[in-house]
Amino acid sequence: MKKLMMSVAVVLVAVSLHAQVGKQQGLIDPNIAAEKDLLALPHMTPAVVKGILERRPFLSMTDLNTFLSPSLGKDQLTQLYGKMFVHINLNTASREEILMIPNLGNRMLREFLEYRPYRAMAQFRREIGKYVDQTELARLEQYVFTPINLNTATDEDILSIPGLGQRMLREFKEYRPYQNIEQFRREIGKYVNAKEVARFERYVTLN
């Protein structure tokens, strides 16, 4: 029994090291969340939720923030972003986007930027873990991702993309090797609409 538990633990660690979108602990992705879940968030009115549903996917936090700012004040946005956020790319997010992570601050902004380019979430955990405890590291991880390589990503990597699922996992792998991002758009566009292709594309790279 002890050996079995150790084996399970090893598998779980391996999966967590592969996943390239930070492990979620309740943070809602507005691009895939159900209407009822959005309505349950702080400061979210039916009109705001309707606007989110009509405009999504938001391809950056800047886009989401631009939409919400006319309706919500700074403190309200901070409270909301503690519950809902569009994942930011660790390698390309602007300073302004990184600072939208609640209670991050300029010191941690410098640390986020210092270790670019990030190759994997494991690197983020290792480097940022030098400055914060495990609880804070787990909180910060929810907000970020590192792009997966379309041609080499593991199943676990691909499935870490929010809302992807087993069916799309098969389609992602079917067309390997991808020669360029236009091929990805064309092939995956056979199965989902252009908005969903654009949402998936945020999480992938051929570099």
Per-residue pLDDT of the chain (207 residues; tens, 9 = 90+): 434 333 333 333 333 345 699 999 999 999 999 999 999 999 999 999 999 999 999 999 999 999 999 999 999 999 999 999 999 999 999 999 999 999 999 999 999 999 999 999 999 999 999 999 999 999 999 999 999 999 999 999 999 999 999 999 999 999 999 999 999 999 999 999 999 999 999 999 998
- Burial of residue 118 (number of CB atoms within 10 Å: 0-12, 13-18, 19+): buried
Nearest-angstrom CA–CA distance, 31 and 77:
17
Buried b (16+ CB within 10 A) or exposed e, 59-95: ebbbebbebbeeebeeeebeebbbbbbbbbbbbebee
N- to C-terminal Cα distance for the chain? 43
